[in-house]
Amino acid sequence: MEIKVNFLDNLRLEAKFDDFTVVADQPIRYKGDGSAPGPFDYFLASSALCAAYFVKLYCSTRNIPTDNIRLSQNNIVDPENRYQQTFKIQVELPADISAKDRQGILRSIERCTVKKVVQTGPEFVIEEVDNLDADAQALLLPGIATGEGTRIPGKDLPLEQTIATMSGILAGLGMKIEIASWRNIVPNVWSLHTRDAQSPLCFTNGKGSTKESALASALGEFIERLNCNFFYNDQYWGQEIANAPFVHYPRERWFQPGPNDELPAEILDDHCLAIYNPEGELRGSHLYDTNSGNTERGICSIPYVRQSDGEVVYFPSNLIENLFLSNGMSAGNTLAEAQVQCLSEIFERAVKREILEGELALPDVPQEVLAKYPAIVAGIQGLEEQGFPVLVKDASMGGQFPVMCVTLMNPRTGGVFASFGAHPRFEVALERSLTELLQGRSFEGLNDLPQPTFESQAVTEPNNYVEHFIDSSGVVSWRFFSARADFDFVEWDFSSQGDNATAEEAATLFGLLEDMGNEAYMAVFDDLGAIACRILVPGYSEVYPVDDLIWDNTNKALLFREDILNLHSLDEDSLQALLERLEESELDDYTDITTLIGIEFDDNTVWGQLTILELKLLIHLALQQFEEAKELTETFLQYNDNTVERGLFYQALNVVLEVELDDELDLDDYEPNFRRMFGDERMDAVIGSMDGSVRFYGLTPTSMKLEGLDRHQRLIDSFKKLHAARGKAAGLAGF
């Protein structure tokens, strides 16, 4: 994690990381102002807080209340060496906690990350640099081997070369990549979390059987998502980008809807129109670009090549963003390698969907077949030894598709996790199933798995597949676990051999799609210096339902974005119009405003917690529509999951509204005790909200210029690096 430090007045210092700011000072006796803890005090507190976190985690997973658990830490300084210190952590536990859990709680503290880092002894590197924002890729994996390098199945170049190349490309783009965490909880299963230090919303996860393969995976995913703009999906990119010579890619084209909002003739083809507009309900305005919000330019469309005949077909960026998520995008050392990865993922997810929604039972992989892959068996045994039964299944549906499945059961909670993996090579697909299962997870993280069900509706509900797509945490049917399989086991093999093996494997996978009657469309992205591609298979590789283009399109943001960002400057008529649009939209009141308008607010602010319900409440208050405000306040308090501070504000508002709406009550009679209960500052905000002197309490003013929205600005700054690189690669003036 990158922590940037600013020098403030006197000895005060400010550390900034993620969305947080920490201020440190020195005591007055050391010439400071005593306004904040010192740096070493924060260090001491970090180990105590870390210990308490692991206690809380242990108790939460076992439903043990922590109300009467107390923890303290003292540091004992050696009088002859002040750098030699003993940290004594003491825990006071209630009498009703069992002896087993007492030991468990103490053992949980042993796992404290701060403690382990201190005991291991971190290495400090202190150096001068010309620019703090220069790349830090040299820190990704210190001591990585050189020479011929490590080759693994499915990769066309050695891992070390892949890592070096991809790191160099990211550094050239100005991306300062850091590793936030590593995981290796069982043998031969590694995963890590990487992110852009300057824009932590840009992050990826990598997985593999070694730390090198996991790092290559994470960097490849980072480059794939940059090339496909996936980090910036659904977000507003600002007025500068919206009016630039291009928005997404230099080769994009913009097409105007017809006079009656018909779809432009230039987009999609007959095959796609039959899938996306079967009833003729899709309109041009449904496909306006969410990211730019520039409806005057028309429909932003990206060229894709139809694989059956090489013809170019233009796909609206809005359609891709709404339906496909990250499915079918990949980067590779070669185009063929990227194609194989794209197609493998498409088959993995489509087959997974068919199996889970069809509640199909899969055949076990025989032990004699598993024995051919001892490294994978060692990882499975590591899970079994921790008390997690593992089922290894052939998901090829009788040898039709290159897909495998590894399913974990948690007897402690009754939860299950079905992980799928795909690749033309049986071994690679099996390894990916296992590494996907544990990607970014601790053993404690396996306690949150959902329980299986015999309720078919819960399994087939569309959002369940979305959950499976995102992190495989959706619900699985008990029928999936039947010993009577719906298919025979097949030790399949879709791989090729020789110098042209990867290209032949890609052709094999394209052939499978063609045999099924599917059309594939591909775009190649190489203007950032790396080869990436995206493959769309309409009617097969979508993640969200096609109906979302009409009924749940992300460009609904265009109806609300400008007015919400300009909220503080709207007059009463504009506020009433905004309120009416929110009501007429029939949007879920608990939709957060971040999602609605595509703006990344700081999670720790009122904007970051704001929902449609609370926004409507605040508008009613600003319009002095107190009866409506009272009704929404009661709803807010009944279902509030906001901060305690925000809840108390609305508790105070609720009682003041009660008095206001009752002709027999007078606020003067109650205000003194309201102030004793809720405090002067909170009551001033409530009374100000009632008389109009305080508008939209807690929401800082902003506008379409996005002032004050640092988190979102960092995301836009990240995208501008890509935008500039694309413009320069295309030879456009000004880039």
pLDDT tens profile 246-287: 999 999 999 999 999 999 999 999 999 999 999 999 999 999
Does residue 166 share a domain with residue 84? no
pLDDT of residue 693: 95
Q: Which of 286, 284, 295, 355 is nearest to 323 (CA)?
A: 286
> What's the helix, strand, coil split of the chain in %, to 5?
45, 15, 40
- The amino acid at residue 477 is S
Does residue 472 share a domain with residue 355? yes
Q: Is residue 93 part of a domain?
A: yes
Model pLDDT for residues 451-498, shown as the tens digit of each residue: 999 999 999 988 888 888 888 788 999 999 999 999 999 999 999 998
Q: Is residue 697 part of a domain?
A: yes
Q: Is residue 551 part of a domain?
A: no
CATH assignment of the domain containing 171: 3.30.160.20
More confident residue, 192 or 132: 192
Greatest pairwise CA separation for the chain in angstroms: 90
Does residue 375 share a domain with residue 485? yes
DSSP 720: H
* Domain final residue, candidates 193, 209, 228: 228
Q: What is the mean pLDDT of residues 395-424?
A: 96
pLDDT of residue 192: 93
Does residue 492 share a domain with residue 345? yes
| CA–CA gap between residue 714 and residue 203 (Å, rounded) | 13
| CA–CA gap between residue 399 and residue 240 (Å, rounded) | 52
| CA–CA gap between residue 665 and residue 672 (Å, rounded) | 14
Question: Is residue 206 predicted with pLDDT exceeding 70?
Answer: yes
Does residue 476 share a domain with residue 606? no
Does residue 572 share a domain with residue 461? no
Question: Is residue 10 predicted with pLDDT exceeding 70?
Answer: yes
Q: Which of 684, 702, 701 is nearest to 693 (CA)?
A: 684
* Domain final residue, candidates 228, 244, 271: 228
pLDDT of residue 107: 92
Contacts of 53-57 spanning 24+ positions with Cβ under 8 A: 53/112, 54/108, 54/109, 54/111, 54/112, 55/91, 55/105, 55/108, 55/109, 57/108, 57/444
CATH assignment of the domain containing 77: 3.30.300.20
* Domain final residue, candidates 55, 87, 120: 120
Model pLDDT for residues 499-558, shown as the tens digit of each residue: 899 999 999 999 999 999 999 999 999 999 899 999 999 999 999 999 999 999 999 999
Does residue 346 share a domain with residue 418? yes
Q: In which domain, by residue range, is 612 found? A: 556-704
Q: Is residue 519 part of a domain?
A: no
Residue carrying the six token digits 């170019």: 312
pTM over 0.75: yes
Average pLDDT, the chain: 92
Burial class (CB in 10 A: 0-12, 13-18, 19+), 187: middle
Does residue 146 share a domain with residue 104? no
Does residue 692 share a domain with residue 574? yes
Does residue 82 share a domain with residue 185? no
Tell me how long the chain is: 735
Does residue 495 share a domain with residue 563? no
Per-residue three-class SS string for 585-631: HCCCCCCEHHHHHCCCCCCCCHHHHCEHHHHHHHHHHHCCCHHHHHH
Q: Total structural domains in the chain? A: 4
Model pLDDT for residues 299-353, shown as the tens digit of each residue: 999 999 999 999 999 999 999 999 999 999 999 999 999 999 999 999 999 999 9
Q: Is residue 514 part of a domain?
A: no
Q: Is residue 115 part of a domain?
A: yes
Question: Is residue 65 predicted with pLDDT exceeding 60?
Answer: yes
